[in-house]
Structure 1
Amino acid sequence: MDYRKSIQESLDYIEDNLKTPITATELCEQAGYSLFHYYRLFQSAVGMSVMQYILRRRLIHAIYEIRCGCKRIDVILEYGFDTYAGFYKAFRREFDCTPSTYIKKGRAKRPYKLNLYKEDYMVSHKKALDVLKHWKLENESISDVYHESNGEKSNRAFYVGKNFVLKFSKNDDEVKNAIALCNAIKGAGVCISSPIETTDGRAYVQDGELFFYVTRRISGTQMIAHDFYEGDYAAKARFVGEIIGQLHLILCQAKTSVNDVNLYESVKNWALPKSKDILSLSESFCRGYLNEFGKLYDKLPKQIIHRDPNPSNIIVSQNEWGFIDFELSEKNLRIYDPCYAAVAILSESFDEKDQAKLSNWLEIYRNILWGYDSVVKLTNEECVALPYVVMADQLVSTAWFSEQNKYTELFETNKRMTQWLITIFDELKFD
């Protein structure tokens, strides 16, 4: 019997009844297990105890409603806390920060329902410490990783003390590729999160369905999208383009194999058909887009790319810069990375009513490309293809987000972004 079905039913029940008392006894009776067996099944499936999970969901829902403007005392009483002091203490224990700090850092997102058949990563701090025994790091402190640019909590990594990061994935090829690529470019002039072997010499360990590995933590700070609109944003954008170009020169020399992706075929066979109705795209636009992109595609240079150079994955310090998270690296169009970096900045700051900001973003986009071109000379075909690659990225993002229940806000943002980018398509060309 697939016990996940019973646990999923428990998760759905918990989500629908967070404002009423819920006991573990009630849940185990509904699931048809003994209390002891239910505790073990729930811990195994979700990564934490059932009562901790219920508390966490109440805290997440409550902080979101407070962020949305609901009266604080009314919210905490509805979710079963007798006083704000009780809520405050529980919140600090669970998230290691105050409720106000959590909101200020943009972490109070709309909660989404968990689906055990779709969720890839559900690892508790306790589980992480147990895995870290393979590196003799089990006595280090564990803390959650948050992307500073958007406040999102990473669901695939923990900080370990001050110097290490524990990463995990269900995809062993993803883990192997990231480790191999980081090792291949180590010492080549770019700061990367170097993998650390276990005490018995393994690059990673498997525990259940997940594959774990440890890397060194790069010193410095993550770049933040909103910072690009302040001060000399042109210089900041050119810097991003330049370092992506320098990374590409290094990746060209990497002696390792990665997935070879055909972006045009992905758009033609999946992303565009999926997004066509979502975005109300006309037949003439779709035909014209595929026809022109198809003519250009085979003429465009391909190489190993980072694939996810959003601001959070670029680390800068006073004298150095580096990249993290090579799990998605692949062989693809080289101009995908600078286009992705520019669109990622737009995604984290998009407001279709702020025309001044949109105009600034166009300058950010152009300066990223100028910086990239100064290091990796763009071909004539690449200059023409840039709007098609930007649109390909957006069609892929829109199609993917449309299938993810937990990213409804990002889906709506990307939908509006794509529609706006279509209106300025010709301005995305590079002269």
Structure 2
Amino acid sequence: MDYKDIMQKSIDYIEENLKSELSANEISQAAGFSLFHYYRLFQNEVGIPVMQYVLKRKLCNAIYDISLGNMMIEVALSYGFDTHSGFFKAFKREYDCSPTEYLKKHKVVKPYRINLKQKENIMITEKKIKEKLKNWNLKEPIDIKSVYYESNGNKSDTSWIINNDFIIKIGTNISRLKQHISVSKALADAGFEVAIPILTKDKKEYVLEEDLYFCLTNRIEGEVIKSIEIYEGEYESKAKSIGEAIGKLHLVLQEKDNEVICNDQNLYETVSEWAIPRIKQKMNLNYKFYEDYKENFKKIYPQLIKHVIHRDPNPNNIIVKDGKLRGFIDFELSERNVRIFDPCYAATAILSESFDINNINRLNKWLLIFKNIIKGYDKVCKLSIEEKKAIPYVVYSIQMIFMAYLSDIDKFQELSEINHEMFKWLVSKNDDMEI
């Protein structure tokens, strides 16, 4: 019996009845299990008790409805809260702020349906986090705060701020965690400020419970870069500093290349053999584009410099304070790849988080931001002639991999559509991206 499929049907049932008076007994009966057995199954597959899951889904759907202009009290009542006060208290417990404060601070997006087979789902209670934190020597009382992604305002399901000084990360991919630790240690040895594990009482770098890891790291003081703010003021100078920062990071990563444990990737093969077949039928592009990509990038690719790279240097992973770079975070995706991947990725991440096909002024600014990120990088890590020729192909590679990854995940449907439009626009600007 595939319990994941059964729980998926149960999750779908909950989603379809969020505005009803749902009870654990009703949900368990719909799933065909006794209440006691259902409690255990749901917690095992989803990670939190069923009624806590129902509350989370009611709250995230309610705040979305409110963001559309609906009256808060009417929305609260429609989702089964008896009073405005009841909704307010439940929301504040979950999001660490009032509904009004949340709407001011964050962009609210339409809640996606959870699909247990499409993504790594990690849902965990604060009680469980506090229980695991007993493995470390921390001062009481333990204060737990949510982590929000500045790019979209979404709350992280895998990271929390602990006592303002630490971050606890929870996940299932141990190999990626070990990779992050390996890269972080190498960078710390070279004087970079990075998030490295705080050892447990037993001198371990992380704690395991079944298929979950719990890793506590130091918190780098500062804030992440907000993509939309890069377009303001001296945006060309800001972009150049991002490129320089990635270049300085790469100097260390290249020096430490033999010390870091991570996977080797062939960007050309990944795109030509995996990404293009997945997106080709969905993209209304001239067939010749794909043939030109394969023919021309294949010739240049062997001549490109490769070493360990960050792989995900989007603005959310760059920490600044008082306008100065403090460090990089999240090396879980690090790999050996062509080095120009990182500056190109930083630029495309900025565009993806701010893309508006009708905002011509912003699009023209982005082209200058892109060129200045590359210029900043080139100042620190001198680019070869072949690397400069390869830059448009690397940008296209990043986009095609991203679109292929998004193609089958319901959560990212809106983001997928945005990036399809963005890809078409980038292809139309091929000449403008040449360095």
TM-score (norm 1): 0.96
Q: Any idea what the Cα deviations from partners look like across 1:66-110, whole Å, max 9, x if unmatched?
A: 212334343222211233333222211111111122223334221
Q: Structure 1 CA distance, aligned partners of 2:141 and 2:36?
A: 29
Residue 371 (structure 1) aligns with: 376
Q: Any idea what the Cα deviations from partners look like across 1:369-408, whole Å, max 9, x if unmatched?
A: 1110000001000111100000100011111111111111
Residue 41 (structure 1) aligns with: 41
Q: Is the 8 A contact 1:47 1:127 kept in 2?
A: no
Aligned residue pairs: how many?
Answer: 430
Q: Structure 1 CA distance, aligned partners of 2:260 and 2:10?
A: 44
Q: Structure 1 CA distance, aligned partners of 2:271 and 2:407?
A: 15
Q: 1:91-170 counterparts in 2 under 5 A?
A: 91-120=91-120, 121-137=122-138, 139-170=141-172
* DSSP-derived class of the 1:331 partner: strand
1:179 CA drift (Å): 0.8
Q: Is the 8 A contact 1:220 1:315 kept in 2?
A: yes
Residue 17 (structure 1) aligns with: 17
Measured at CA, do residues 33 and 136 of structure 1 come closer, stay the same or move farther in structure 2, by a change above 3 Å?
Answer: farther
Q: What amino acid sits opposite 2:386 in the alignment?
A: E
Q: Structure 2 CA distance, aligned partners of 1:264 and 1:228?
A: 30
1:117 CA drift (Å): 2.6
Which range moves more in the overlay, 31-40 or 106-115?
A: 31-40
Q: Is the 8 A contact 2:150 2:224 kept in 1?
A: yes
Which range moves more in the overlay, 82-91 or 401-410?
A: 82-91
1:35 CA drift (Å): 2.1
Q: Structure 1 CA distance, aligned partners of 2:119 and 2:404?
A: 18
Q: Is the 8 A contact 2:319 2:326 kept in 1?
A: yes
Q: Structure 1 CA distance, aligned partners of 2:386 and 2:72?
A: 56
Which range moves more in the overlay, 171-180 or 47-56?
A: 47-56
Q: Structure 2 CA distance, aligned partners of 1:154 and 1:78?
A: 26
Q: Is the 8 A contact 2:187 2:253 kept in 1?
A: yes
Residue 56 (structure 1) aligns with: 56
Q: Is 1:6 aligned to residue 10 of structure 2?
A: no
Aligned to 1:291, which of 290, 295, 320?
295
Which range moves more in the overlay, 1-10 or 52-61?
A: 1-10
Q: Structure 1 CA distance, aligned partners of 2:3 and 2:273?
A: 36
Q: Any idea what the Cα deviations from partners look like across 1:144-183, whole Å, max 9, x if unmatched?
A: 2111222122232111111111112211110111111111
* DSSP-derived class of the 2:386 partner: helix
Residue 87 (structure 1) aligns with: 87
Q: Structure 1 CA distance, aligned partners of 2:308 and 2:233?
A: 33
Q: Is 1:274 aligned to residue 278 of structure 2?
A: yes
Unpaired segments ≥5 residues, structure 1? none
1:343 CA drift (Å): 0.6
Q: Structure 1 CA distance, aligned partners of 2:37 and 2:57?
A: 22
1:194 CA drift (Å): 1.7
1:142 CA drift (Å): 1.7
Residue 265 (structure 1) aligns with: 269
Measured at CA, do residues 320 and 297 of structure 1 come closer, stay the same or move farther in structure 2, by a change above 3 Å?
Answer: closer
Residue 358 (structure 2) aligns with: 353
Which range moves more in the overlay, 182-191 or 213-222?
A: 182-191
Aligned to 1:188, which of 187, 190, 197?
190
1:414 CA drift (Å): 0.7
Alignment root-mean-square deviation, CA: 1.6
Q: Is the 8 A contact 1:191 1:320 kept in 2?
A: no
Which range moves more in the overlay, 270-279 or 33-42?
A: 33-42
Q: Structure 2 CA distance, aligned partners of 1:317 and 1:268?
A: 40
Unpaired segments ≥5 residues, structure 2? none
Q: 1:274-353 counterparts in 2 under 5 A?
A: 274-318=278-322, 320-353=325-358
Aligned to 2:260, which of 256, 260, 268?
256
Q: Structure 2 CA distance, aligned partners of 1:253 and 1:155?
A: 34
Q: Is 1:176 aligned to residue 178 of structure 2?
A: yes
1:320 CA drift (Å): 4.6
Q: What amino acid sits opposite 1:36 in the alignment?
A: F
* DSSP-derived class of the 1:167 partner: strand
Q: Is the 8 A contact 2:222 2:319 kept in 1?
A: yes
Q: Structure 2 CA distance, aligned partners of 1:3 and 1:401?
A: 25
1:28 CA drift (Å): 1.8
Which range moves more in the overlay, 35-44 or 324-333?
A: 35-44
Identity of aligned residues (%): 47
Which range moves more in the overlay, 170-179 or 332-341?
A: 170-179
Q: Is 1:423 aligned to residue 428 of structure 2?
A: yes
Q: Structure 1 CA distance, aligned partners of 2:215 and 2:221?
A: 19
Q: Structure 1 CA distance, aligned partners of 2:158 and 2:233?
A: 33
Q: Any idea what the Cα deviations from partners look like across 1:244-284, whole Å, max 9, x if unmatched?
A: 00000011122122100011001001111211122212211
Which range moves more in the overlay, 221-230 or 127-136?
A: 127-136
Which range moves more in the overlay, 139-148 or 370-379?
A: 139-148
1:139 CA drift (Å): 4.6
Residue 72 (structure 2) aligns with: 72
Q: Is the 8 A contact 1:148 1:224 kept in 2?
A: yes
Q: Is the 8 A contact 1:342 1:365 kept in 2?
A: yes
Q: What amino acid sits opposite 2:183 in the alignment?
A: L
* DSSP-derived class of the 1:195 partner: coil
Q: Structure 1 CA distance, aligned partners of 2:373 and 2:166?
A: 31
Q: Is the 8 A contact 1:105 1:148 kept in 2?
A: no
Aligned to 1:381, which of 367, 380, 386?
386
4+ runs deviating over 6 angstroms: none
Q: Structure 2 CA distance, aligned partners of 1:424 and 1:347?
A: 15
* DSSP-derived class of the 2:354 partner: coil
Q: Is 1:409 aligned to residue 414 of structure 2?
A: yes
Q: Any idea what the Cα deviations from partners look like across 1:190-244, whole Å, max 9, x if unmatched?
A: 2111211211111222212112211100001111001111111111111100000
Which range moves more in the overlay, 410-419 or 316-325?
A: 316-325
